[in-house]
Structure 1
Amino acid sequence: MIKHFSLLLCFICATFTYAQRSSENILEPAQDSIKKNEFIKHLGNGYLPTKYFNFDLRYLIKYNQYEGVRTGIGGVTNDNFSEKYRINSYGVYGFRDHRFKYSIGGGFRLAKKTNTWINLTYTNDLQETGSTKFLTDGRFFQFFEPRLLNIDLFHKLVTKSINLEHQLNPKLLTETELAVSNIDPTYNYGYVLDNNIVNSFHLTTAKLSLQWNPFSKFEILENELKETKKGYPQFTLQYTKSFKDVFKSDFNFSKLDFRTIYKIGNENDGVSEITLVSGITNGNTPLTHLYHAYPNNITKETIMQRFSVAGLNSFETMYFNEFFSDKFTTVQLKHYLKPFNISEHYKPQIVLITRYALGDIKQPELHQNVTFGSLKKGYTESGFEINKLLFGFGLSFTYRYGAYHLSEFSDNVAFKFTFNVSL
């Protein structure tokens, strides 16, 4: 595990360094600081820009327990190609499962003022079982994704979707999607549906997602509406409906997901952050679309065998596939102490963390060939991080206690790396 992680890190750092040096070699002779800043901005968002096409660094290399090393290439056209149309695609290969995955998509803008786009996408890939993504989250880039290294429960997903993005006003973004999917778990799983066991299935879903940032400030910059100051709290709400017998869909269920983030203080003196995430499903919902509460601990005997990389908002002591819920709530409290001002470029920071999860599931017996618990007693962990000790790396220590405390002391402890880099 550590070997693969080291290789992954070295490759990403090498890619980043090369990209930076390339940009400096190209731009510095012209002393074009504006272009250089723009390049660094693209790089921070995970893109390597060219004249008409921005390469997406997310697809260069990753690692997980099912695919092993996953590598490929992808990207999206930029405004030099067209301000009204865009094409985005990627292709990757997993060296452990020996499969190609890909996505082909495109979009066209209906209205510039409201940033209204219609997008069409065809995707043949994997998705983590029990995960939920808000449509309005848009793009989020990390040099590597800590949780991904340890995930082993995926389902194959072939999806055709049409999507509408629309900015109702500067503080309210909406996104809707209609999708038809074929789903095939990569693990031995069956769901008892109408007295039959379903192993793979079809889904037709409609989603509506709202992102409301009432306290943020926006300005028109470079003919585009941009968020100039993040204000808190921020709210996200998403409703999902699966329709049985529509385009051969097998399931009829609904999901309602909510998230709010609140920050108090400022970065120079210390910041407190509260994140609440909640979700509920109703109807016949397969394991693929339940909730797993973001676990990030692998099932190994010793603390050092479980030594990996801490996630940003995951439960570090909760083991993968330990709990699934059809309704759940998580609350995460983080307090960032004032950074240690050791030097201009060396400012380690301590973060105090407490996480709590509460959930339940009505009919676990409908899910065949899998074993998991519920969260109805309430799950608690607390700990701290010391970030940015060396080259963006730090350390994390978390302890599991309360109703789901385990008999072996070491099984309740998670000791891990952290990794924080910003451009």
Structure 2
Amino acid sequence: MLKHLFLIFCLYASSMLQAQSLSVDTKETVKDSLKRKAFIEHLGNGYFPTKYFNFDLRYLIKYNQYEALRTGLGGITNDALSESFRVNGYLVYGFGDDKFKYSVGGAYRLAEKTNTWISASYTDDLQETGSTKFLTDKRFFQFFEPRLLNISLFHAHVTKSIGLEHQITPKILSESVFSISHIDPTYNYTYVVGDTSFNEFDISSTKFALQWSPFSIYEDSRQGLKEVKKGFPKFTVQYTKSFKDVFKSDFNFSKLDFRTIYQFGDEKASYSQIVLVAGMANGDVPLTHLYHAYPNNINKETILQRFSVAGINSFETMYFNEFFSDKFTTVQFKHYLKPFNISPKYKPQMVLIMRYALGNMDNPDRHQNITFNTLDKGYTESGFELNKLLFGFGLSFTYRYGAYHLPDIADNIAFKFTFNVSL
């Protein structure tokens, strides 16, 4: 009887030890899985994480028509160093213009509950002329930025700024910035106001932006609020005001920018997306701060010479520096067909595309030594993409028609690669 009891006890103890061992192994497996997931999320956001500092992959290597090869290092401190402050910066070098560019900044969290941060930065770099960035588009990373390859019109700027970021509600993010910039176009350009001509200038301005996602669902995470379910439509609005004679600023002007994104259908089957962007600038606005409608076509003669990589929301048949506006609207429609189920790992997808742009400019004669058109007649292009054919690459075909159709048929055609990779 004692032998049987002893045998039962041994079997019970053995099973308990085995269960404990499996429990430890399971915990370790879960921990490793979470680490891998976090690491992949960081990479997807463009960061290579280390213990106290996350390297920013956006600054490793790029190419454009002015700087040629651009390479450097950048990054930001993470929560392991401090959850109440962060330091960020980058240093890059352009081989084409033989110049270093850099930025250094920091931020301090004023309130954890509302994710309120006050920040300051100093930047000496380039910016594409005619581009508008929304402050609330805090983080945008692509493994490959196709438009950047062909951009040639940049202006150099030295900017000192102070900003405030505040989460009004989980669905409303606000950000404001006051900045002082000295701007020097890298191209031959003169802006004339009255009897005064400007080849370079100073601008002191404030920006205020709101991003509203009324139908999205958010949850708290270690990185702050995380969107766990996308809801549409999404809205972003931004107001800019420049003040003449404040810190030697040369111009008085204002800008109002708006964007909405609406998506309907099933992303696992077929769905559609509409993106509407509009902007309006009033006052004495130099070309650097106007709108170009995101062109992405190289100024070369043949279709094959213009063969490059299509952007995400750019006009593929519109040539760089062809149009500028002080008031504009663009509408882009994409319909994603259900992926072709060729095999479990090979599922190409066709996307039907239609784009429209409308714009105008009140005083084009003020912008001298540069030639461009306006969009007052309405610009249209349509086409399709066949994505994910091989290693994330696909093909794109777009045709330009309507009021700005060109006499030579080949000049209206854009045939390009596409590139789509997600982690």
TM-score by length of 2: 0.92
SS of residue matched to 2:247: coil
What is the rounded CA distance, in whole Å, between the counterparts of 2:266 and 2:68 in structure 1?
40
What is the rounded CA distance, in whole Å, between the counterparts of 1:94 and 1:356 in structure 2?
35
Counterpart residue number, 1:65: 65
Counterpart residue number, 2:10: none
Counterpart residue number, 1:357: 357
Counterpart residue number, 2:371: 371
Counterpart residue number, 1:23: none
What is the rounded CA distance, in whole Å, between the counterparts of 2:69 and 2:170 in structure 1?
41
Counterpart residue number, 1:84: 84
Offset of 1:221 from its aligned partner? 3.2
Match runs of 1:269-308 below 5 Å = 269-308=269-308
Offset of 1:399 from its aligned partner? 0.1
Establish whether residue 332 from structure 1 lines up as the match of residue 342 from structure 2: no
Offset of 1:100 from its aligned partner? 0.1
What is the rounded CA distance, in whole Å, between the counterparts of 1:135 and 1:64 in structure 2?
23
Establish whether residue 318 from structure 1 lines up as the match of residue 318 from structure 2: yes
Offset of 1:220 from its aligned partner? 2.5
SS of residue matched to 2:118: strand
Counterpart residue number, 1:409: 409
Counterpart residue number, 2:122: 122
Counterpart residue number, 1:139: 139
Counterpart amino acid of residue 178 in structure 1: F
Counterpart residue number, 1:175: 175
What is the rounded CA distance, in whole Å, between the counterparts of 1:74 and 1:305 in structure 2?
34
Counterpart residue number, 1:156: 156
Offset of 1:370 from its aligned partner? 0.4
**Which structure 2 segments of 5+ residues have no match?**
1-27
Offset of 1:219 from its aligned partner? 1.9
Counterpart residue number, 1:422: 422
Number of residue-to-residue matches in the alignment:
396
Offset from partner CA, 1:278-335 (integer Å, 9 cap, x none): 0000001000000000000011000000000000000000000000000000000000
What is the rounded CA distance, in whole Å, between the counterparts of 1:363 and 1:122 in structure 2?
33
Which aligned runs of 4 or more in structure 1 are off by greater than 4 angstroms? Answer: 28-31
Counterpart amino acid of residue 144 in structure 1: F
**Which structure 1 segments of 5+ residues have no match?**
1-27
Match runs of 1:244-259 below 5 Å = 244-259=244-259
TM-score by length of 1: 0.92
State the identity %: 72
SS of residue matched to 2:192: strand
Moved more, 339-348 or 300-309: 339-348
SS of residue matched to 2:40: helix
SS of residue matched to 2:357: strand
Counterpart amino acid of residue 419 in structure 1: F
Offset of 1:29 from its aligned partner? 9.8
Counterpart residue number, 2:107: 107
Offset of 1:79 from its aligned partner? 0.2
Offset from partner CA, 1:388-421 (integer Å, 9 cap, x none): 0000000000000000000000000000000000
What is the rounded CA distance, in whole Å, between the counterparts of 1:113 and 1:247 in structure 2?
35
Question: What is the RMSD of the two structures over their aligned residues, measured on CA atoms?
Answer: 1.2
Offset from partner CA, 1:125-160 (integer Å, 9 cap, x none): 000000000000110000121000000000001000
Offset of 1:223 from its aligned partner? 8.3
SS of residue matched to 1:137: coil
Offset of 1:193 from its aligned partner? 1.7
